[in-house]
Structure 1
Amino acid sequence: MRLEHGELRALLPHRYPMLLLDRVESVEPGTTLEAVKAVTGCEPCYRGIAEGQPTDRYAYPASLLIESFGQGAAVLWLLSRQPGTAGLPMFTAARDCVLLRPVYPGDVIRHRVRLEQVVHGAAFASGSSWVGTDQVAEFGSMMAVVRPADAIAGARE
């Protein structure tokens, strides 16, 4: 299964500038997902960087890389739930996350997510992120819980 950007918008409550996935390349519900995020120099995180700054100033923020991976995990969980299950997943915790090298404008991040366990309205995922053949991050465990959409201010179902 492949999901284009419009389909991701239908699944996730995130919008610009916080929808941090461009496409899902493949998914096996309940098991794995591979998603893509292209980093561009036009991202809001680069606004305000003065001209002539060294390359390292353009490293993609670690928090956004982690959030992007987490959105991939959320999509995998949403596609894995039983029909009729309601609510939105909310990121709650991350453990054993290792950032191995910076990501820069022009890089295409490929997230490889594994759904490890779903228990009582909580999901656990792990995986890695890659740029080409270089692993840029490892995620030992990420956890999300599901909450009713109407309990989240501004959320939509």
Structure 2
Amino acid sequence: MPMLLRLSYFLSEVATMVMDINEIREYLPHRYPFLLVDRITELTLGELIVGYKNVSINEPFFNGHFPHHPIMPGVLVLEALAQVCGILGFKTVNKLPADGYVYYLVGSDNVRFKRPVMPGDCLVLEARVEREKRGIWKFACRATVGGELACEADIICAERKVA
């Protein structure tokens, strides 16, 4: 294998990572029923994260939203997007909640819900870093189901030392 091709392969392997639920739990302080990310399928430090949430009828919010027509609350779709943003931030700066850090959702702009998210859906969560300055991160986010846009938003998170 030519040297340039080997280097290109190595760099692509380093730049793209995958996380299972056990590693996600290291990077998010959330726990059931508020942990809304099941897996990360793509992660490029400082740039992009893609993950998903498998939406089950057993989610506690479906008991009341709505009993005869269950729909995932839009604010929880937004929260799931914020959680992948937090993972990308933590991974990029090489910190963990166990180190006493947290990412707060401090704002959202241009939020639009385009389709309902229902039990059985696989909610794909994507966030791209638009900018970061002094621990304040702005992300362009999209949530899709089967390739169809469910939600889009600009999300602002703040990294803070809490302990």
Name the TM tier (shorter chain). Answer: 0.7 to 0.9
- Deviation track 1:132-155 (CA, whole Å, cap 9, x = no partner) reads 12111111x2111112132xxxxx
Large movers: runs of 4+ above 4 Å: 48-51, 82-86
Tell me the distance in 1 between the aligned counterparts of 2:121 and 2:94: 35
Shift of 1:121: 1.5
- 8 A contact 2:85–2:139 mirrored in 1: yes
1:23-102 correspondence runs (5 A) = 23-48=39-64, 53=68, 57-81=69-93, 87-102=101-116
- Deviation track 1:32-89 (CA, whole Å, cap 9, x = no partner) reads 01010010000010125787x2xxx301100110000110111111111156996211
Counterpart of 2:142 in structure 1 is 128
Counterpart of 2:33 in structure 1 is 17
Partner of 1:138, secondary structure, is strand
CA radius of gyration, larger in: 2
Bigger shift: residues 41-50 or 124-133:
41-50
Cα gap change, 1:108 to 1:83, in 2 (>3 Å)? closer
Cα gap change, 1:83 to 1:133, in 2 (>3 Å)? closer
Q: Percent of pairs identical after alignment? A: 26
- Deviation track 1:100-143 (CA, whole Å, cap 9, x = no partner) reads 0101000000011101111011111112111012111111x211
Question: Residue 72 of structure 1 aligns to which amino acid in structure 2?
Answer: V
Question: Residue 132 of structure 2 aligns to which amino acid in structure 1?
Answer: V
Cα gap change, 1:2 to 1:95, in 2 (>3 Å)? same
Tell me the distance in 2 between the aligned counterparts of 1:59 and 1:105: 7
Cα gap change, 1:105 to 1:29, in 2 (>3 Å)? same
Counterpart of 2:127 in structure 1 is 113
Counterpart of 1:146 in structure 2 is 159
TM-score by length of 2: 0.83
Total equivalences in the alignment: 145
Ranges in structure 1 where 5+ consecutive residues have no aligned partner: 151-157
Partner of 1:80, secondary structure, is helix
Higher helix share: 2
After superposition, the CA RMSD in angstroms is 1.9
Cα gap change, 1:77 to 1:41, in 2 (>3 Å)? same
Ranges in structure 2 where 5+ consecutive residues have no aligned partner: 1-16
TM-score by length of 1: 0.86
Question: Residue 111 of structure 2 aligns to which amino acid in structure 1?
Answer: C
